[in-house]
Chain A
């Protein structure tokens, strides 16, 4: 049996997620034992114009060219995976959606903005069908490998529907709320093994909100800790602004 052909494509992003894959270290060797990487700009310059068994899409969709390009990739891919927050939930690029597009364009490109037509930022699944989601900014390497193994075995991968606190408690971290800090853990999807908190940082909510978050309850908690509501909304929107497109 020939090895599945795997490709990585980047859209609007910082390529940090591809870097996480490239940085798998020795594991990369195990990886190329089981898959055939045919396109991966971060580490190689070869290109492939045939079909793909698995395509990883990194980045969000922010202009019409990107829409066309991702649709073409979808047509040529048996399985399509959204890689990282930009791709799975729109991520930080979604902040653009809080502004008028023209205003945003002018802010970035000055008067030349007309030469750079833009659209509202979209997560990949808001443009084409996505088969697997790997959340995180950047992705968490062990989860990437878990998802990849599921793909190769033909199994579904369920992004945990419970919050980061679950993993954080198993890691027996001192809760950020006990340190007098706030943390997005209670309303953010798990799967990263509470990576940030294990390393002394708060959870920024990069994996997106849980399926059924108690947003009002969360606001009440933050109020109790003296956090103004608009500050909180900014925190939530830093990664989650594109969620509104799902809801509308």
Chain B
């Protein structure tokens, strides 16, 4: 911890800071939607912002990879005119949890791989991320400690951590520094507050337990043994294929491409819109053949897509432990429980081999 990278702001002045931020930037932050639901929305005053919130309905991904995004506009005439479009906006995201920052890091990995997603990369440049560290679990659905996303590491411009009197702020980029300078509300950190931060982080090791009864490094092996696990069959009867678990996941990036014309039938646009492997038409091809008709196969794909395939390709687990998929599933399919069942079943098999 380099003390010169840290700044302090009194906790009582956080609203003042937010209002100042709003006066300079377009600020997006978590707001309350009722029934313990939250959403990232553009805010007009600090009063709308909730600093204590459980993961929002949709992750902040929606600003990086919009739900619906125009990619080109066309004009149909004697000659076809086509114009590629990139939509972006300068935004400051305030109050992003470390799990969601991990999600954005996953997207960065995939979308800067070839073929590069230029629109995404342009948008990313225009977005500033101000994180807020969780000192406690949001709720029981979280498994961020299992994947190591509960402690801030990288992927943000500023990171706020709540101490007794202050927020201690880690300045992690020049964009972050710019905010510190423009708002003029921060002072340098002192040795005491750095000590307090160290104690807090140590304490977090006790507060945050490994939520899944295995270690992260055993995950590839576990999944290599689990392709025919009975859990998938259980999901076959439970899952409604509603696609909620993938819609809310910060590391899902599948999309469909569609076109629409104006009523004049002369001008139109091509756009992409989020899509999901859980949905019936996803793996359907010409002739009506569906490569993944069974719900069990679709659910299995979702789990392998989070915990196995990307380890080979990117060396990363593509689950941030945010718990959104479990929270949103009206059928009660719970990621922690599915992983635990896989572990139990696989252990039983290994024992049988030895006996």
- Closest B residue to A170 by beta carbon equals B67
**A148 CA to B332 CA in the complex, in Å?**
40
A33 surroundings in chain B (CB, below 8 A): 263-264
Task: Tell me which residues across on chain B come within 8 A of A187, comparing CB atoms.
Answer: 240
Of A14-22, A38-46, A118-126, A174-182, the segment with at least 4 beta carbons within 8 Å of chain B is A174-182
Contact with A along B320-341 (1 / 0, CB 8 A): 0000000010111000000000
Contact partner of A177 among B260, B273, B330, CB < 8 A?
A: B330
Residue B125 lies at the interface, judged by CB distance under 8 Å to chain A: no
A208 within 8 A of B: no
Point out the residues of chain A lying under 8 angstroms from B37, CB to CB: 174-175, 178
Q: For the complex, is A166 an interface residue (Cβ under 8 Å from B)?
A: yes
- Choose the segment among B222-230, B274-282, B309-317 that binds chain A (4+ C-beta atoms closer than 8 Å): B274-282
Task: Please state if A161 and B279 are interface contacts (CB–CB under 8 Å).
Answer: yes
Given A149-B261, A170-B247, A174-B33, decide whether A163 and B241 contact each other with a Cβ distance below 8 A: yes
Cβ-neighbour of A216 out of B34, B237, B263, B293 (below 8 A) = B237
Residue of B nearest to A149 (CB): B261
B85 interfacial contact with A, CB 8 Å: no
Q: Is B239 an interface residue (CB 8 A)?
A: yes
How far does the alpha carbon of A153 sit from the alpha carbon of B35 in the complex, in Å? 45
Q: How distant is the Cα of A169 from the Cα of B273 in the complex, in angstroms?
A: 12
Given contacts A174-B37, A174-B57, is CB(A217)–CB(B243) below 8 Å?
Answer: no
Chain B residues with CB under 8 Å of A36's CB are none
CB distance from B252 to the nearest CB of A (A): 11
Tell whether, in the assembled complex, residue A166 and residue B243 are in contact, meaning their CB atoms are under 8 Å apart. Answer: yes
How far is it, in angstroms, between the C-alpha of A185 and the C-alpha of B331 when the chains are bound? 13
Range class of the B interface residue count: 35 or more
| Bound-state Cα–Cα, A170 to B244, Å | 9
Dominant secondary structure at the B interface: loop
Complex Cα gap A65–B239 (Å): 44
B122 at the A interface (CB under 8 A): no
> With a CB–CB cut-off of 8 A, which chain A residues contact B247?
165-166, 169-170
Q: Find B244's partner among A34, A149, A165 (CB 8 Å cutoff).
A: A165
Q: Could you say which residues of chain A place their CB within 8 Å of the CB of B240?
A: 163, 186-187, 213-214, 217-218, 221
Give A130-159 as 1s and 0s: 1 = Cβ < 8 Å from B's Cβ atoms. Answer: 000000000000000110010011000010
Structural contact, B265 and A149, CB atoms closer than 8 A: yes
Query: A162 touches which one: B34, B57, B281, B330 (CB < 8 A)?
Result: B281
CA–CA, A162 and B281, complex, Å: 7
A214–B241 CB distance below 8 A:
yes
Which of B237, B261, B263 is within 8 Å of A217, CB to CB?
Answer: B237
Interface contact A217-B328, CB-CB below 8 Å? no
Residues of A within 8 A of B276 (CB): 162, 166
Asked whether A224 is an interface residue with its Cβ less than 8 Å from the other chain, the reply is yes
Report whether A214 and B330 are in contact in the complex, using a CB–CB cutoff of 8 Å: no
Q: List 21 A-B contacts (CB under 8 A).
A: A27-B263, A149-B263, A152-B265, A153-B265, A161-B280, A165-B242, A166-B242, A170-B247, A170-B273, A172-B57, A174-B33, A174-B35, A178-B35, A185-B242, A210-B241, A212-B241, A212-B293, A217-B239, A217-B331, A221-B240, A221-B332
B residues with a Cβ closer than 8 A to A are 33-37, 39, 57-58, 67-68, 237-244, 247-248, 260-261, 263-265, 273-274, 276, 279-281, 293, 295, 328, 330-332
A sample of 17 more A-B contacts (CB under 8 A), given A174-B33, A186-B240, is A34-B264, A158-B281, A161-B279, A162-B241, A163-B240, A165-B242, A166-B279, A170-B273, A172-B39, A172-B58, A174-B34, A174-B35, A175-B330, A187-B240, A213-B240, A214-B237, A216-B237
A contact residues vs B (CB 8 Å cutoff)? 27, 30-31, 33-34, 145-146, 149, 152-153, 158, 160-163, 165-166, 169-170, 172-175, 177-179, 185-187, 210-214, 216-218, 220-221, 224
